[in-house]
Amino acid sequence: MSSPCPVEPDGLFDGLRWSLILGGAVLDHVLSFLALLPILVLVGGTEALSGDEESVNRVIDQTVLAPEFLLWSLIVGVLITSCAAFWVARRAGVLPLRHGGWTAVAALMLGAVFLLFPGATSGPQPPLWYVFLGYAFMIPAGVFGGWLAARASGKNA
């Protein structure tokens, strides 16, 4: 009697479609960047986009440190990561939880690369606890997006 074939690949990276994962990480960052503008207007008002350059910069600097902006950007960021992971997991068609989780990890690493650019850390910085909270939510959000993709396709996660 022969042993049954394994249901999952043996290795941690086996069966992953890296082009989709990297595309999902880029999608996560693009959508997050695009979502910042409506949040900025929602919290800072139209003053954040109108007036002379000095007053606009002052309003933006104040707004990005406001608790309402931090809360909304965290919520929207987690939702966007889940959506990007969902998209990747659905497109991959296999191993949805892994694809979702690795999409979040790739997005984290892409964000770390952006911090290396000159001027990336200039201007007002959010509190350190907020940064760590955002990092702590990213991977679970990615796995959740993968889980939703598995549920939507009718496969067991």
How does pLDDT run across 18-32, given as a tens digit for each residue? 999 999 999 999 999
Task: Enter the pTM of the model.
Answer: 0.85
Helix axes 18-44, 96-114, angle to 10 degrees: 60
User: What pLDDT score was predicted for residue 16?
Assistant: 87
Residues 6 or more apart whose CB falls under 8 angstroms from that of 123 comprise 61, 64
The band of 46, judged by pLDDT with boundaries at 50, 70 and 90, is: confident
Select the more confidently predicted residue: 124 or 157.
124
Q: What is the pLDDT of residues 65-124, one digit of tens each?
A: 899 999 999 999 999 999 999 999 999 988 999 999 999 999 999 998 888 887 777 778
Q: Is the dihedral of CA 19, 24, 29, 33 positive or negative?
A: positive
What distance in Å separates the CA atoms of residue 127 and residue 115, rounded to the nearest whole number?
A: 16
User: What pLDDT score was predicted for residue 119?
Assistant: 73
pLDDT at position 51 over 60: yes
Average pLDDT, the chain: 87
pLDDT at position 138 over 80: yes
